[in-house]
Amino acid sequence: MKRLRFAFLLVSLFLPGSLIAQDPLQREMRYFPFGAIAFEGFPIDAPQGYRMLDSPSAEGKIVREVPGPVTVTVVNYIERDGQRFYLTTEQQSQWWDDPSGVLWTSFSGTGRTDYIDRSEPARIARRETRDLFKIGAALTEIWEETLPVEPETAWNDAYLRAELDALLPAKILSFRLTTPPAWEATLRLFPAFDSNPERIPGPKPETYGELARALVSLPSQREVILKGDTNGETIRSVLVPNTVWATGFSEGRVQYLRTGWIDVPPMVEVSRLSPPRFTRGDPKSFRFAATRLNDTPALIDVTPGRIRGADFTDFLQIAMMGGPFGSGDEGDMNLYLQEQWNIELGSDQEVVVVAPLAEGRGAAGMLELESLSLIPSYREDLEALSAFGAQPAPDTPEANTPGWFSVLEQKVGEIPASQR
């Protein structure tokens, strides 16, 4: 029986019950999907500025108004009557100290309200008892939604960033340079079987130990076009046809792509990257072998605009990554980590290589394809995607070019200041 993975946002599952009981707003609080980008929150571009209210309501008292254009970083939100009221990174700290003193941020002119108006709320597909990791036997609700996606996204000066609504697996169908450095890519989308359950409407269950919930997000159309106006040659080197990327959507627009290794919620199937070869000097370049859906592995050669670590960044640790490895558990873990490199691409059109530095990793459960009311035309691709997710990372590319070193044999070395 074909299966795909899903995981729950364990932050929500293990919030203290006393906290939920003390503050009814806690049950309304929604958290953005982790694992998509770093934990510092999501930037929202607000061309018309924002207001800060003393309560998450359209009737709340306006404490402060800030004119636009401006960018604000938010970490979570409450949604009421088709509007979202956000906590900024600063107000998140206030929330834990004294929720009564929190100020809520409301934006206008971002497109969020229109997006909510044309979205259909998630619906329950079925209920069943599942043996879930860390929770044990639990009644599980499987929800489904159809995520509105725009047929075309243009990354340019007019693009507005917003919080990520969902991550969908996407295969690169084609890439071409239009008028260099401008470019265009066509993406084929797949459903996300581990979408963020925070998107399920209504209050959260009061007792998480007895009820678990999973959300499946289906895209409103199968193919979308992504256009950019700069850095086309570098982006062409990574958006290789038939590679698979976790694709973040904001208000229906493509905002974010990531491939290599994703095992923190929400999880999606992506191409696996080999332990890399790299060059020394400034700038530093990387060479990966990448798995492709229904295709042989391909080489990705990239000189990234930035290099960082997953979850946290310590450039000294990155510089010390690499062989020769010892034997035993520590050596085996080092080898395992070298298969967890990532490549990211955001709306700034800067390619980022992410070294496998992480404090913790998520845990997966299983979701059966037969549990879902899927569109029939997806089934062949979904079965291939399920098998694709089980493929191991390719071997490190052969050393057929002078000046390239294997991370399994030598240290990565100092990261140039220009790429930090």
Sketch the domain layout of the chain as residue ranges. 3-47+109-419
The amino acid sitting at 224 is V
Rounded Cα–Cα distance for residues 211 and 206 (Å): 9
What are 52-99's pLDDT values in tens digits? 999 999 999 999 999 999 999 998 899 888 889 999 988 988 888 888
Cα-flanking dihedrals φ and ψ of residue 8, to 5°? -100, 150
Rounded Cα–Cα distance for residues 200 and 183 (Å): 36
What's the pLDDT band for 19 if we cut at 50, 70, 90?
very low
C-alpha distance across the termini of the chain, in Å = 45
Q: What is the DSSP string of 78-128?
A: EEETTEEEEEEHHHHHHHHH-GGG--EEEE-SSSHHHHHHTPPPPEEEEEE
Cα-flanking dihedrals φ and ψ of residue 48, to 5°? -105, 15
Q: What's the pLDDT score for residue 3?
A: 36
Q: What's the pLDDT score for residue 168?
A: 93
Q: What is the pTM of this model?
A: 0.84
| Residues above pLDDT 90, as percent of the chain | 48
Q: What's the pLDDT score for residue 38?
A: 44
Q: What's the pLDDT score for residue 5?
A: 37
The whole-chain average pLDDT of the chain stands at 83
Q: Torsion angle, CA of 345/29/15/358, rounded to 10 degrees?
A: 10
Q: What's the pLDDT score for residue 213?
A: 83
Q: What's the pLDDT score for residue 247?
A: 94
Q: What's the pLDDT score for residue 347?
A: 96
Tokens of 217: 């997000």
Q: What's the pLDDT score for residue 374?
A: 46
What's the pLDDT band for 22 if we cut at 50, 70, 90?
very low
pLDDT at residue 256 is higher than 70? yes
| Residues above pLDDT 70, as percent of the chain | 80
What's the pLDDT band for 263 if we cut at 50, 70, 90?
low
What are 306-348's pLDDT values in tens digits? 999 876 788 988 898 888 776 665 556 677 788 889 999 999 9
What are 122-159's pLDDT values in tens digits? 999 988 887 766 666 778 888 999 999 999 999 999 99
Q: Are 233 and 6 in contact (CB under 8 A)?
A: no
Q: What's the pLDDT score for residue 258?
A: 93
What are 352-403's pLDDT values in tens digits? 999 987 544 333 333 333 434 444 456 667 777 778 877 888 988 888 788 9
* Of residues 119 and 226, more confidently modeled: 226
- DSSP letter, residue 186: E
